[in-house]
Structure 1
Amino acid sequence: YHMQAAQWHCLELTLTSTSAYANPVQETELWAEFTGPTGETQKVRGFWDGGAVWRVRFAPSAVGEWRYETSCSDTQNSGLHAQTGKFSCTPPTGETRFAQHGPVRLAANKRHLEHVDGTPFFWLADTAWNGPLRSTPQEWNQYLHVRTRQHFSAVQWVSTQWRAAPDGDIEGGLAYTGDNSRIEINPSFFQRMDERVAAIANAGLLNVPVLLWTLGSAETQQVNPGHSLPEDQAVLLVHYMVARWGAYPVVWILPGDGN
């Protein structure tokens, strides 16, 4: 096998587009279908990561041989469409609760959360809304160290510019720019957020991002994507973030302060 990934750990495929797009996320979609050792299939979105680079992230759920095949809405794009491969999924490694017990799901009785192996998951979270956005790497690592020591299990945070960070991240980066009717994704913003997401997971904490802050009554309502973006653009933005972070242990908060 040319690739290996541990069970429940993020595997990343990197693809190079052979077509150029003025606004890639608006003009094409990338998918990959993964087939596991017992024939189970999982289909996940890929995402544009700047220039001609596209990526697919996937966390295999079972040990054994996996195969994948990509599909692109632009079937003439030979770099993205109909790419195939295989990899070996090895037993889980690592010390965190997710490495040992897998991601979190709703239990069969619908009354509590558990890991996929049945181990109960107790949700103790902090609303560090601006944490990933406004921290330095050193500050974020210190925060995670403290919360881990205090036996927290999750971190709730906001994933884009919003009313309490209208100028975006600590470097002034925005998740998206352009006209709200046709947004332009900013990959460098999300590459920086990826580092925070990975740090949360590596600390053994559950990522709980708010995807669309939605408050519509504040002075800064136009910066809240759940309020200011039309539905098709809000859906596009959510799909992009789910593609980037869905292979990590994660629970999504769709809106914040809104319906």
Structure 2
Amino acid sequence: MVPSNPTRRTVISTALAPIAARLTAQPGPTRVERWGLFELTLSGPSNGNPFIDVPFSAEFRQQHRSVPVDGFYDGDGVYKVRFSPDAVGEWTYLTRSGRPELDGKQGTLLCAAPSASNHGPVSVRNSWEFGHADGAPYLPFGTTCYAWTHQPDALQQQTIDTLRQAPFNKLRMCIFPKWYEYNRDEPRLFPFPRTAAGVNDYSRFVPEFFRNLETRITQLQSLAIEADLILFHPYDHWGYALMPPDADERYLRYVVARLAAFRNVWWSVANEWDLVKGKQPADWDRYFRILEESDPYSRLRSIHHSVVMYDHSKPWVTHLSVQGDEFSKTAEWRTVFRKPVVFDECKYEGNIPKRWGDISARELTRRFWLGTASGAYVGHGETYLDPNDILWWSKGGLLHGESPRRIAFLRAVMDAAPRGLAPVAGAYYPCIAKPGEYYLYYLDYHQPALADFSLPADARFAADIIDPWEMTTVAAPGTYSAKFQLKLPGKPMLAVRFRRLA
């Protein structure tokens, strides 16, 4: 029963309840679904600085497997360790700590089959694709709300309500607050204790800050939205971009201990890493290595750039996070890096006085289709002027643009397509295909009344003419094979789809 006037901590605990199996004094093993979240809570010392002074971890075992997991201090003498089991059956655990009240605690949890909406975490499949752990496909259609979790509670909830009706299944978001145009507000909560004079205590954390973040990650998970968490960024007003190396590492390990067990978490090491002054390329390599060694689930890892791309060939990078609209380079990058290419930022639909935030809905729709037909994944953002400076790209709230409906239409087209699509080398128009079965061309600015195509001669194909802006699909009469000309409406920005007939 929730109290009539619940505290913020009670509200957060209630939000986590559907996915967290809390250990209390109860008989028998705790049950948790596969890829769900098991949480062990223990009481321990609160004197001194428990964030540094009290090591705490647990080892989870199933048959011959052993998974070590770091715990964390949650304030007020409370210690937690979270675990996301990836295999059905019985697991045992044993805690380890230098403090006797936290050391040697044993228990059992029973991992049950996942619920219908739980497809497991997303990982890279077949070099260039993504997929869920249960085999379900995953095609990212993302958006960006950098600082939405640093806004008033009502605005955060409005963002969730908007996402519930939107087509997006990935959200780029910063852990640290952001200081930039249209976003010059002091947040209510900070990740570290901070004096009135602006001095941060990097040796401690503010658990309430992270509990709010966990609530929002949980809400995103309920909407089947991946939380692409940005760990560092250059738009700083509080000193977080210039923390000393030991504080950087402590922050990363604390974040991983708290958040890695949420199955919808991805790690974006930085937004515009090359603009973070005072850090060298070796620092970013070190951050990736810390994530690799501390994250027991190997969640997806990327790094976003402004001008200078990070070396995506390094083994700890799971996929490319690109800023720009050079979709013609997708095939080259796929070949060189053999990793998925995600254009997380290809400029935003909006009307602010910035070139990166003033493209039309038609242009953003075009970029989604062009990027998709080039073999990449494309992300959305929106920056319409607002009298209260509530722009979706930073603070969330409401969507005002016309592109989301068109993105939903494209997502439906791609959800119906077979898996394993790849760009066709040398195609006259950008095309992704599963050769012999499925072809999707995007004609971009071209407006032919007749277009030449070539398909396998030993099969018959149906043709569809797709208007991405009007969101219509019209079947062309007849069937097609070998070389032929297809009659088209003679207007730009159309797509043509060929599907093999049985």
TM band (smaller chain)? 0.7 to 0.9
Aligned partner of 2:124 among 90, 106, 112: 106
Aligned partner of 1:32 among 58, 83, 92: 58
Determine the C-alpha separation between the residues in 1 that align with 2:224 and 2:158. Answer: 14
Residues 194-238 of structure 1, C-alpha deviations (whole Å, 9 max, x = no match): 21111111111111111222x2xx6x4x5252x211111111111
Shift of 1:118: 2.6
Determine the C-alpha separation between the residues in 2 that align with 1:67 and 1:168. Answer: 44
Q: Which residue of 2 aligns with 1:150?
A: 166
SS in structure 1 at match of 2:258: helix
Determine the C-alpha separation between the residues in 2 that align with 1:115 and 1:168. Answer: 38
Shift of 1:22: 2.2
Q: Which residue of 2 aligns with 1:50?
A: 75
SS in structure 1 at match of 2:212: helix
Aligned partner of 2:208 among 188, 213, 219: 188
Q: Which residue of 1 aligns with 2:255?
A: 241
SS in structure 2 at match of 1:61: coil
Q: Which residue of 2 aligns with 1:228?
A: 242
| Distance change in 2, residues 1:2/1:123 (3 Å) | same
- For the pair 1:133 / 2:161, whether they are aligned, the reply is no
1:176-215 paired onto structure 2 within 5 Å: 176-177=192-193, 182-213=202-233, 215=234
Determine the C-alpha separation between the residues in 2 that align with 1:167 and 1:234. Answer: 24
Determine the C-alpha separation between the residues in 2 that align with 1:64 and 1:158. Answer: 36
Determine the C-alpha separation between the residues in 2 that align with 1:183 and 1:250. Answer: 25
Shift of 1:166: 7.1
Which structure would you say has the larger RCO, counting Cα contacts within 8 Å and 6 or more residues apart?
Answer: 1
| 8 A contact 1:5–1:88 mirrored in 2 | yes
Q: Which residue of 1 aligns with 2:140?
A: 123
| Alignment-mate amino acid for residue 84 of structure 1 | Q
| Alignment-mate amino acid for residue 216 of structure 2 | R
Determine the C-alpha separation between the residues in 2 that align with 1:14 and 1:6. Answer: 18
Q: Which residue of 1 aligns with 2:485?
A: none
Shift of 1:28: 2.5
- For the pair 1:2 / 2:29, whether they are aligned, the reply is yes
Q: Which runs of 5+ in 1 are unaligned?
A: none
Aligned residues: 240
| 8 A contact 1:161–1:167 mirrored in 2 | no
Shift of 1:157: 0.8
Q: Which residue of 2 aligns with 1:89?
A: 111
Shift of 1:52: 0.7
Shift of 1:13: 0.6
Shift of 1:150: 2.8
| Distance change in 2, residues 1:184/1:166 (3 Å) | farther
Determine the C-alpha separation between the residues in 2 that align with 1:135 and 1:122. Answer: 31
| 8 A contact 2:29–2:107 mirrored in 1 | no
Determine the C-alpha separation between the residues in 2 that align with 1:124 and 1:141. Answer: 21
Shift of 1:34: 0.8
| Distance change in 2, residues 1:162/1:140 (3 Å) | closer
Shift of 1:135: 4.2
Shift of 1:140: 3.2
Residues 152-191 of structure 1, C-alpha deviations (whole Å, 9 max, x = no match): 111111112333467653xx21111256574320111112
| 8 A contact 1:32–1:70 mirrored in 2 | yes
Q: Provide the TM-score with structure 2 as the length reference.
A: 0.45
Q: Provide the TM-score with structure 1 as the length reference.
A: 0.84
Shift of 1:20: 3.5
Determine the C-alpha separation between the residues in 2 that align with 1:51 and 1:30. Answer: 16
Q: Which runs of 5+ in 2 are unaligned?
A: 1-27, 275-502
Determine the C-alpha separation between the residues in 1 that align with 2:200 and 2:190. Answer: 13
| Distance change in 2, residues 1:142/1:120 (3 Å) | same
SS in structure 1 at match of 2:208: helix
SS in structure 2 at match of 1:223: coil
